[in-house]
């Protein structure tokens, strides 16, 4: 008997983030005829973002695609993806999903299937180039940057004031100068029109995307072996495809920024190293604090290679 799995996505369906999901669904539905099918129910309009974890965990939906940050309140280990600097392919080859499932399954009743965010990173986008100087080669102190709670420790270390402004208000805030810039990903800023106001992109990039695919553990256990094999193999293929897809998009984004006259500012060697140390430490300190030195440390060794 054919199993139909309902999937909800964490971002509006039309956005680029969902391309890997759409590819995955097409591949599974083609290969899985008569065995397993995946049906996209919708995005945040169907299940609001803060409650998507609950819907997946309780089995109201079978699968979830989207930022694993949504799970961080319940599963500390879900923060490892954002704090990683290794590709999905390398992580899979090292058996990282088994380690992750050691937390996802007991803590969230969720089975982790695949990681689709390693092709893009995070970046600081500013309205003006920051002055030279300081431990990072450029002085960020006193800037007001948009960010979420994730950025708080990093911004603290940089001397930046965190402004928690909603995405829909960022355009106006940039236009009016209510913020001096924002922490963002290496994609989709030009889609949102930020390039009209951003004059400086700061390199190196840091952290990386945390789009993931997960399935409710009961739904997973109820699947026949054949269906599980199809999902696993197609997830692996989709991971590699997504990595290339997002890398390509990030390159296009950088080109679009260059075309709009945005400067790329590279922090000098020592400054860049200090910046990256600070950025990654800000995430891993939190993970270690929540998971303990042993579990958190093991996770860090697997996900982060300085």
Partner 1 sequence: MTSLGRAQAWLIGALAWVSGAIVAITCLLVIVDVAAYAAGAGSIGWTADVAAYGLLYATMFAAPWLVREKGHVTLESFRRMLPPGPQRALEVLVCLLSLLACLALSWGGIALIVDSIDRGAIDFRVLAIPRWLLYLPLPVGFLLMAVEFGRVLAGRGSLYGGGSEGI
Partner 2 sequence: MAAAAKASEGPGAQMEWYFAGLIMLGGLLALMAIGTPVFMAFLIINAAGVGIFFGFREAALEQLVSNAAASVTSFILVPVPLFVLMGELFFRTGLAVRVFDAFDVLIGRVPARLSYIAVGSGTAFAALTGTSVGSAAMMGSMLVPEMDRRGYKSHMSIGPIMGAGGLAILIPPSALAVLLGSIARIDIGSLLLAGVVPGLVLACLYAALIFLQARLDPEAAPAYGGEGAALAAKLRVLAVEIAPMLLVILLVIGLIVGGIATPTESAAFGVLGVLLLALAKGGLDWPALRAALRGTVKVSGMLLIIVIGSSTFSQIVAFSGASRGLLAWAGEAQWAPLWMLLMMFAVLLFLGMFLDQISQMMLTLPVFMPMAAAAGYDPVWFGVIVLLAMEISLVTPPFGLLLFVMMGAAPKGTSLTTIATAALPYIGCALVLLLLLLALPELALWLPSAMK
CB of 214 to partner 1, least distance (A): 17
Residues near partner 1 (CB under 8 A), total: 17
Site string for partner 2, 73-102 (x = CB under 8 A): ------------------------------
Partner touching 274 among partner 2, partner 1, none, CB below 5 to 8 Å by kind: none
Tell which one of 141, 148, 172, 221 touches partner 2 (CB under 8 A).
172
* Cα gap 44→50, rounded to integer Å: 9
Tell which one of 95, 133, 148, 244 touches partner 1 (CB under 8 A).
148
Closer by beta carbon to partner 1, 85 or else 109 = 109
Closer by beta carbon to partner 1, 72 or else 118 = 72
Residues near partner 2 (CB under 8 A), total: 40
* Cα gap 115→127, rounded to integer Å: 32
Q: Which of 31, 19, 4, 2 is nearest to 245 (CA)?
A: 19
Tokens of 122: 């995070």
* Cα gap 33→225, rounded to integer Å: 15
- How wide is the angle at C-alpha 187 spanned by C-alphas 185 and 191, nearest 5°? 120
Quick check: helix, strand or coil at residue 126?
strand
Closer by beta carbon to partner 2, 250 or else 291 = 250
What sections of 38-151 are H helices per DSSP? 52-57, 88-93, 96-108
Closer by beta carbon to partner 2, 50 or else 133 = 50
* Cα gap 126→201, rounded to integer Å: 6
* Cα gap 17→1, rounded to integer Å: 32
Query: What's the gap between Cα 141 and its chain centre?
Result: 26
Partner touching 39 among partner 1, partner 2, none, CB below 5 to 8 Å by kind: partner 2
Site for partner 2, rule CB under 8 A: 2, 4, 6, 12-15, 39, 41-51, 54-55, 58-60, 165-169, 171-173, 175-178, 191-193, 196
Site for partner 1, rule CB under 8 A: 50, 69, 72-74, 107, 142, 144, 148-150, 152, 161-165
């Amino acid at each position: 008997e054919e199993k139909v799995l309902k999937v909800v996505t964490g971002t509006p369906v039309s956005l680029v983030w969902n391309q890997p999901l759409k590819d995955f669904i097409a591949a599974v539905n083609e290969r899985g005829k008569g065995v397993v099918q995946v049906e996209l129910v919708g995005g945040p309009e169907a299940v609001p973002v803060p409650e998507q974890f609950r819907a997946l965990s309780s089995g109201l939906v079978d699968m979830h695609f989207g930022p694993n940050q949504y799970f961080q309140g319940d599963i500390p280990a879900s923060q490892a993806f954002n704090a990683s600097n290794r590709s999905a392919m390398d992580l899979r080859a090292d058996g990282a999903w088994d380690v992750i499932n050691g937390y996802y399954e007991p803590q969230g009743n969720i089975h982790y299937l695949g990681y689709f965010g390693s092709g893009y990173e995070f970046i600081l986008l500013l309205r003006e180039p920051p002055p030279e100087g300081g431990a990072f080669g450029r002085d960020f102190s006193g800037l007001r940057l948009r960010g979420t709670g994730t950025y708080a420790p990093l911004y603290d270390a940089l001397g930046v004031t965190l402004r928690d402004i909603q995405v829909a208000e960022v355009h106006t805030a940039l236009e009016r100068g209510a913020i001096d810039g924002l922490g963002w990903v290496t994609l989709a800023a030009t889609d949102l029109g930020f390039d009209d106001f951003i004059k400086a992109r700061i390199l190196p990039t840091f952290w990386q995307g945390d789009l993931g695919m997960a399935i409710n553990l009961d739904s997973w256990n109820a699947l026949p072996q054949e269906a599980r094999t199809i999902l696993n193999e197609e997830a692996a293929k989709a991971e590699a495809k997504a990595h290339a897809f997002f890398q390509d998009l990030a390159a296009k984004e950088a080109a679009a920024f260059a075309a709009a006259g945005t400067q790329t500012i590279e922090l000098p060697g020592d400054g860049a190293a200090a910046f990256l140390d600070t950025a990654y430490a800000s995430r891993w300190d939190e993970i270690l604090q929540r998971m303990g030195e042993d579990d958190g440390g093991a996770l860090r060794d697997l996900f982060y290679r300085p």
